[in-house]
Structure 1
Amino acid sequence: MKAVVLDTDDRFRLTDIDRPAPGPGQVAIAVRYAGIQWGDELVRRGHFPVARPFVSGFEAAGQVVDVGPGVDEALLGRAVTALTGGGAFAEVVIASAALTFDAGGLDPRTAAAFGWATPTAYDLIHTVTQVRPGERVLVHAAAGGVGTMAAQFARAAGAGRIVGVVGDSERAAYAARFGYDRLITRAEFAGAGENGPTGEEPFDVALDPVGGPTRLASLRWLAPHGRLAMYGALAGSAPAALDSDELLMSGRSALSYNSDLLSRTHPERLADSARHALRAVAEGHIRPDITAEYEMTDLDQALDRLAGGRTYGKSIVRVAPHLT
């Protein structure tokens, strides 16, 4: 079968490999479309210790073509979306049955765009920070896959005001489509004075995939009993030392979320959130926005654009779009 393989020179190549077979608790999916995410770039950079050559791709939409021991054969032929541990940039991918979901009538492009970002955004709003009606929410990387959906989930949860932080005015114009009340640039956030980045009341919730100084500033602009959700480190490994005594006295909380770890330690929790998020997408309440679609041979270009901050929303890869 055809697959895009990441080789030892950090380049992707379309090649032929053996078709994998599902093991216990697994399914094999004939992939129609696969989602692109930041994890693919981290693998390319060597941040994740995977053996090369490696078939990347952590989000797949297609049809179940085989099931492993212990998996209901009624899944055969079903249109699904799946969260995988890799392998989605191939004609067939193996996925855990526990993290494979009925596509619920979604077209395969949207099902691929659902990916890890949608349940992550759901969990950040509903599980981690538990946004309440009327609360003020700050979202970093507001024009990205998680950010655009976090704004939608926050609005659906009754948030009173949602402010997004973006790289520039062009990204602000894009993010404005997803329910933000105000967009500010990273420079404006970093240069905020004593009245905060917007000169308004402090935030009840902040979502931070950036880290470093941004993390500390986000904490500083939280109201008493505010919650900071940390779910990435786009700024790299710059340390951000938190003062636990100050947190205690102000009632503020710093919470972490790691969907990959959750998929390995408590997959049933992630699956439950994914089903809620998928239902919201299927019913039209939440909209993943596909802004770029690539061929399998263009994956290096796709990740170069992602790493360079030249993409918005969600990018996907065509694998076998006319699969029947």
Structure 2
Amino acid sequence: MKAVVFDTDDRFTLADVDEPVPAAGQVAIRVDYAGIQYGDVLVRSGHFPVPRPFVPGFEAAGRIVAVGEGVDAGRVGQRVTALTSAGAYAAVVVASDLLAFDAVGVDSRTAAGFGWVTPTAYDLINTVGRVRPGDSVLVHAAAGGVGTLAAQFAKAAGAARVVGVVGGTAQAEYATQFGYDLLVTREDFPGALADERFDVILDPIGGPTRLASLERLASHGRLVIYGNIATFEPVEINANDLLMSGKSALTYNSNLLSQTHPQRLADSATKALRLLADHTVRVDVTAEYEMADLDTAIQRLANGDTHGKSIVRIA
């Protein structure tokens, strides 16, 4: 079968590889589209060491064509969106039965865009940040895949005010359609917000932005950390200062959750998918690439030149 392979030369190439066979507890999916996500950037940069050759791709949409031992054979033929540990940039991928979700009511392109970003955004707002009716929420990387969904989930949870921080004016114009009450550029953060404080702040940026965000938390506010786009350099947070103000710094790692408590991730993904199917929230697929153009797509994501969600056409 055709697949994109990341090899010892640190390049993505199209190659013929053996079709995978589902093991116990797995399903095999013939892929229509695969989603692009920041994990692809980390694989290419070497931050996530992988065996070579490696078929990347962590999000797939397609139909189940085979099941492994212990999986209901009635799933064969079902159209699904799946979270994978690798292999989605290929004609066929295997995934955990638990993390392959019935995509009824969702078209194939949107199902590919669902990926990890949608359950991540759902959990950031509802499980980790615990947004309550009347809360004020600040979302960094507001025009990205997680950010655009987080704004929608925050509004659905009853947030009274949702503010986004974006890279530039073009991203601000794009993000206005997702329910933000105010958008500011990164260079204007935090000055453009005067003395405003927030109950929940979502931070995938790191570095000085993380420290500035802590300062912007209201008493008993929650800073939710889920990435390090700007820098992997550690940030020191004084627990005594947090204690005196009742503030909290919380982290979320969906990949780790899929390994330690996959049922929790599956429960959140199912709830998020239900909200997507009934149009409470939407995934905005803004770019579609061919398999041969994957390197270009990942570079655009790494450069911050994208907004919304990008996918790759496989079928």
Q: TM bucket by the smaller chain?
A: over 0.9
Q: Provide the C-alpha distance between the structure 1 equivalents of 2:232 and 2:77, rounded to a whole number of angstroms.
A: 44
Q: Provide the C-alpha distance between the structure 1 equivalents of 2:188 and 2:76, rounded to a whole number of angstroms.
A: 52
In the alignment, residue 295 of structure 1 is paired with which amino acid?
E
- What residue number does 1:34 align with? 34
- What residue number does 1:247 align with? 242
- What residue number does 2:130 align with? 130
Gaps in structure 1 of 5+ consecutive residues: none
Q: 236-245 vs 78-87, which deviates more?
A: 236-245
Q: 1:300 Cα shift?
A: 0.7
State the SS of the aligned residue for 1:206: strand
State the SS of the aligned residue for 1:51: coil
Q: 1:201 Cα shift?
A: 3.0
- What residue number does 2:100 align with? 100
TM-score after normalising by structure 2: 0.99
- What residue number does 1:113 align with? 113
- What residue number does 2:273 align with? 278
Which of the residues 294, 299, 319 maps onto 2:314?
Answer: 319
- What residue number does 1:63 align with? 63
TM-score after normalising by structure 1: 0.96
Q: 1:270 Cα shift?
A: 0.1
Deviations, residues 100-128 of structure 1 (Å, cap 9, x unaligned): 10002211100000000000000000000
- What residue number does 1:170 align with? 170
State the SS of the aligned residue for 1:54: coil
- What residue number does 1:224 align with? 219
- What residue number does 2:90 align with? 90
Q: Provide the C-alpha distance between the structure 1 equivalents of 2:233 and 2:89, rounded to a whole number of angstroms.
A: 32
State the SS of the aligned residue for 1:23: coil
In the alignment, residue 18 of structure 1 is paired with which amino acid?
D
Tell me the matched-pair count: 315
- What residue number does 1:212 align with? 207
Q: 1:200 Cα shift?
A: 4.6
Q: Provide the C-alpha distance between the structure 2 equivalents of 1:74 and 1:93, rounded to a whole number of angstroms.
A: 18
- What residue number does 2:149 align with? 149
How do residues 45-56 of structure 1 correspond to structure 2 at under 5 angstroms? 45-56=45-56
RMSD: 0.8
Q: Provide the C-alpha distance between the structure 1 equivalents of 2:150 and 2:105, rounded to a whole number of angstroms.
A: 23
In the alignment, residue 261 of structure 1 is paired with which amino acid?
L
In the alignment, residue 113 of structure 1 is paired with which amino acid?
G
- What residue number does 2:233 align with? 238
- What residue number does 1:267 align with? 262
Q: Percent identity?
A: 66
- What residue number does 1:303 align with? 298
Q: Provide the C-alpha distance between the structure 2 equivalents of 1:115 and 1:311, rounded to a whole number of angstroms.
A: 16
Deviations, residues 195-253 of structure 1 (Å, cap 9, x unaligned): xx412531110000011111111011100000000000111212210010000000000
Deviations, residues 109-149 of structure 1 (Å, cap 9, x unaligned): 00000000000000000000110111110000000000000
State the SS of the aligned residue for 2:189: helix
State the SS of the aligned residue for 1:207: strand
Q: 1:18 Cα shift?
A: 0.4
Q: Provide the C-alpha distance between the structure 2 equivalents of 1:226 and 1:263, rounded to a whole number of angstroms.
A: 27
In the alignment, residue 82 of structure 1 is paired with which amino acid?
A
How do residues 73-88 of structure 1 correspond to structure 2 at under 5 angstroms? 73-88=73-88
Gaps in structure 2 of 5+ consecutive residues: none
Deviations, residues 265-308 of structure 1 (Å, cap 9, x unaligned): 00000000000000000001111001000001100110111111
Q: Provide the C-alpha distance between the structure 2 equivalents of 1:138 and 1:43, rounded to a whole number of angstroms.
A: 29
- What residue number does 2:287 align with? 292
Q: Provide the C-alpha distance between the structure 2 equivalents of 1:41 and 1:124, rounded to a whole number of angstroms.
A: 21
Which of the residues 252, 263, 269 maps onto 1:257?
Answer: 252
In the alignment, residue 180 of structure 2 is paired with which amino acid?
Y
Q: 272-281 vs 234-243, which deviates more?
A: 234-243
In the alignment, residue 208 of structure 2 is paired with which amino acid?
P
State the SS of the aligned residue for 1:264: helix
In the alignment, residue 310 of structure 2 is paired with which amino acid?
S
In the alignment, residue 217 of structure 2 is paired with which amino acid?
L
Q: Provide the C-alpha distance between the structure 2 equivalents of 1:224 and 1:82, rounded to a whole number of angstroms.
A: 39
Q: Which runs of 4+ in 1 moved over 2 A?
A: none
Q: 249-258 vs 304-313, which deviates more?
A: 304-313
Q: Provide the C-alpha distance between the structure 2 equivalents of 1:53 and 1:210, rounded to a whole number of angstroms.
A: 30
In the alignment, residue 226 of structure 1 is paired with which amino acid?
G
